[in-house]
Amino acid sequence: MDINIIDAHTHVNMMDPTQRSAVMQRALDGGIGVINVGADELSSRDAVALTQIYKEGVWAVVGYHPHEAQKDLNMESLQELARDTRVVGIGECGLDYFKLDKEKEDEIKEKQKVLFESQIVLAHKLKKPLVIHCREAFGDTIALLEKHKDLLLPEAGILHFFTGTIEDARALLNLGFSFTFGGLITFNRSFDEIISHIPNGRILVETDAPWVAPRSHRGQQNEPSYIPEIVESLALIKCTPLSEMKGVLLENTKRIFNLKF
Ligand SMILES: [Zn+2]
Ligand SMILES: [Zn+2]
- Domains assigned to the chain: 5-256 (3.20.20.140)
Q: What sections of 54-188 are H helices per DSSP?
A: 75-82, 105-126, 138-147, 166-174
Spatial separation of the C-alpha atoms in residues 110 and 86, rounded to whole Å: 32
Separation of 133 CA from ligand 1 center, angstroms? 5
pLDDT recorded at residue 55? 86
Q: Degrees (nearest 5) of the Cα angle 103, 109, 112?
A: 135
What are the C-alpha distances in Å from 7 to residues 193, 205, 207?
22, 6, 6
Question: Which DSSP letter does residue 106 get?
Answer: H
pLDDT recorded at residue 261? 87
First-to-last alpha carbon distance for the chain, in angstroms, is 9
pLDDT recorded at residue 79? 97
Spatial separation of the C-alpha atoms in residues 168 and 92, rounded to whole Å: 19
pLDDT in tens, the chain (261 residues): 799 999 999 999 999 999 999 999 999 999 999 999 999 999 999 999 999 999 899 999 999 999 999 999 999 999 999 999 999 999 999 999 999 999 999 999 999 999 999 999 999 999 999 999 999 999 999 999 999 999 999 999 999 999 999 999 999 999 999 999 999 999 999 999 999 999 999 999 999 999 999 999 999 999 999 999 999 999 999 999 999 999 999 999 999 999 988
What are the C-alpha distances in Å from 23 to residues 20, 32, 126, 208, 224?
5, 11, 30, 14, 8
Separation of 208 CA from ligand 2 center, angstroms? 5
- Strands 203-205 and 157-159 come out as unpaired
Ligand approaching nearest to the C-alpha of 94: 1
Spatial separation of the C-alpha atoms in residues 181 and 205, rounded to whole Å: 5
Separation of 67 CA from ligand 1 center, angstroms? 10
User: Among residues of the chain, what percentage have pLDDT more than 70?
Assistant: 100
Q: Which among 13, 38, 32, 5 is positioned nearest to 160, based on CA atoms?
A: 38
Separation of 261 CA from ligand 2 center, angstroms? 24
Ligand approaching nearest to the C-alpha of 137: 1
Separation of 92 CA from ligand 1 center, angstroms? 6
Residues with CB under 5 A from ligand 2 (ion): 208
